[in-house]
Homo-oligomer: A and B are copies of this chain.
Amino acid sequence: MDQARPLDALNRGRDKRVIIDLKNSKQFIGTLKAFDIHINTVLEDAEERVDGEAKRKLGTVFIRGDTIVSISLEK
């Protein structure tokens, strides 16, 4: 299983629950539906968390890539 390119790894997260950490310290948790080379990202069934606490249910959310620090799988 080749993992040479970062976007390939991101692609394996598609349709899975992911945690997106933002530069403003907030988090979005949701199902990864789409991303592009700028790391603009779309989550479904998303919620926003601040300091680990759910703050908003968002449904589908588009996140601008340049605000993103990291994307990881929810455990």
A interface vs B, CB < 8 Å? 3-10, 13, 22-25, 28, 33-36, 39-42, 46, 57-73, 75
Contact = CB atoms under 8 A, between A and B. Distances in A.
A38 to B, nearest CB: 8
Given A23-B24, A39-B40, A58-B70, 16 more contacts: A3-B33, A4-B34, A5-B34, A6-B34, A6-B35, A6-B36, A6-B42, A6-B62, A7-B40, A9-B42, A24-B69, A28-B70, A59-B73, A62-B72, A63-B70, A64-B70
Total copies of the chain = 7
A5 B14 CA distance: 12
B34 A8 contact: yes
